[in-house]
A and B are shown apart, each in its own frame.
Chain A
C-alpha cells in the first residue's frame, strides 16, 4: 500500500542511481567495443537504452506525483527538482552512448586509423565525472560536485588534442577521412557526456546549498 514520504524520497534516489549506473555502463560498453573491436558488445548498449528510456519516464512520473501529492518544501523540493533535471541529463548521456555505438558500428567494419589512446582516457574521465556527480547527488556532497566540475576542462583539452592529432592523419592520407571524422565525433560525444555530468553537479550544488552557480563563467 501507500509508502511513507521518506520511503518515497529514498525510492526516487535509488531509481536515479539505477539509471545513472545504466548510462555509465552504456558509455563503458560502447567505448570498450570500439577499443577492443568487439561488435557484439554493441547490442548490449542498445538493450540498456530501452531500460534507460523507461526509467526516464518513471522518474519524471515519480517526481510529478510527489509534487502533486506531497507538497514538498525546502530541501525536499530542491531534491525533487534536481532529480527531474538530472533525469534529463542522464537520458542525454544515454543518447550520446548510443551515438558512440553507432560510430563504432561503422568503425569496426574498417581497419583502425591508429591505436586509440586519448579516447579511452576521455571516456575514463567522463565516466568518473558521472559517477562522482551521482555520488555527490546521493550524499548531498557539494564539495565533490565542485571538484568534479573542474575535471570538465581536462576532457575539453583531450577533445582538442584528439582533433589536432586526427587532422594530421587526414592531411597525410585523405583515405582516412571517414574513419578519422567518426573518431572525432566519438570524442565530441564523450565531451558532451562530461558536460552533462557537469550540469548534474551544478544541480547538486543547488540542491545542497540552494545556490545557483550556472552561467557565471569559470569557477574560482
Chain B
C-alpha cells in the first residue's frame, strides 16, 4: 500500500478546547512528511494522535479515524503497546534512560517487548540499530557508558536507535533537533533522509528551513486546521494557500 497512515476527519479536544479540526491527510510510505506551523497550531497534538500518546491525558478526546495499514488505531481491538512498537516516537529532549548503559538503552525495548532473545541476537540487534542511527562508529568501544554521559546529539541518536531496535514501520519525531547544536542537527537530518528508504517518518518542526531540507511532503497547520499539504518543493516554491505563503515568507507566525 502506498500510504502508511491515512487520517480521516480527525478532531481532538483537550476538555472543551478543540485543538484539531477535521484533519484529513495521507502519509506516504517510506517518505519524510514534515508538519509545520506556528506554536499552538496543533502539530504536536497531531503526531501524538498517530500512536495514541494522549490516551492517558485527562480530558483528551478524539474523533475521526487514523488508519494504520488500513486499520483504525482507535478501534478497541488495537493494543496501544503493539501500536507504539510499530509507530515509534522520538522526542524533542533526548531522553535516554539515565542509569542504563548505551547498550541497555537500545536493548531495553527488546527486553520488554516480544520474544526472548539470546545474548548474541541481542548484541546483533543493538549493533544494527546503532549503525542505522549513525552512532555505531562513535560508540562501539563505549557501549557500557551511561546514556546520560553522551553528548546531546549522541543521546538523540541513541533514542533513535532505541526506537529502531523494535523494528517500527513509522517513526514520529517531535522537534527532534530543536535541543541540538547545528552539527548534531545536520547529522540527525542526514539520518532522517537515510532512514526514509526503509521507514515512514513524520517530523514536527517549527524550523521551516529544516522542513525544506529533509521533507518529501510538508503539511502546514494553523489553529488546528490543516491548511495545505503538498510536496516540499511545491510548498516552498509556490504554495497554493496565501496563509502558507505568509508563514513561510515570515510574514506571520
- A65 contacts the other chain (Cβ, under 8 Å)? yes
Please give the distance in Å from A149's CB to the nearest CB on chain B: 34
Given A68-B237, A69-B233, decide whether A2 and B212 contact each other with a Cβ distance below 8 A. no
Bound-complex Cα distance A64 to B212 (A): 12
Q: Chain A 64-78 against B: per-residue CB contact (8 Å), 1 yes, 0 no?
A: 110011110000000
Are A71 and B214 interface neighbours, CB within 8 A? no
Closest chain A residue, CB of each to CB of B215: A2
Are A70 and B212 interface neighbours, CB within 8 A? yes
Q: A5 — which chain B residues lie within 8 A by C-beta?
A: 213
Please give the distance in Å from B74's CB to the nearest CB on chain A: 29
Please give the distance in Å from B235's CB to the nearest CB on chain A: 9
Please give the distance in Å from A68's CB to the nearest CB on chain B: 4
Are A1 and B233 interface neighbours, CB within 8 A? no
Q: B214 — which chain A residues lie within 8 A by C-beta?
A: 2
Bound-complex Cα distance A1 to B31 (A): 7
Given A4-B190, A65-B237, decide whether A70 and B30 contact each other with a Cβ distance below 8 A. no
Q: Chain B 229-251 against A: per-residue CB contact (8 Å), 1 yes, 0 no?
A: 00011001100000000000000
| Residues of A in contact with B, size category | 10 to 19
Q: B138 — which chain A residues lie within 8 A by C-beta?
A: none
- B156 contacts the other chain (Cβ, under 8 Å)? no
Are B212 and A1 interface neighbours, CB within 8 A? no
Please give the distance in Å from A27's CB to the nearest CB on chain B: 33
Are A4 and B232 interface neighbours, CB within 8 A? no
Q: Chain A 1-13 against B: per-residue CB contact (8 Å), 1 yes, 0 no?
A: 1111100000000
Ranked 9 nearest A-B pairs via Cβ: A69-B212, A68-B236, A65-B233, A68-B237, A1-B196, A2-B193, A71-B209, A69-B236, A2-B216
Q: 11 other contacts beyond A2-B214, A3-B193, with CB at 8 A cut-off?
A: A1-B32, A1-B197, A2-B32, A2-B215, A2-B216, A65-B237, A68-B236, A68-B237, A69-B233, A71-B212, A71-B213
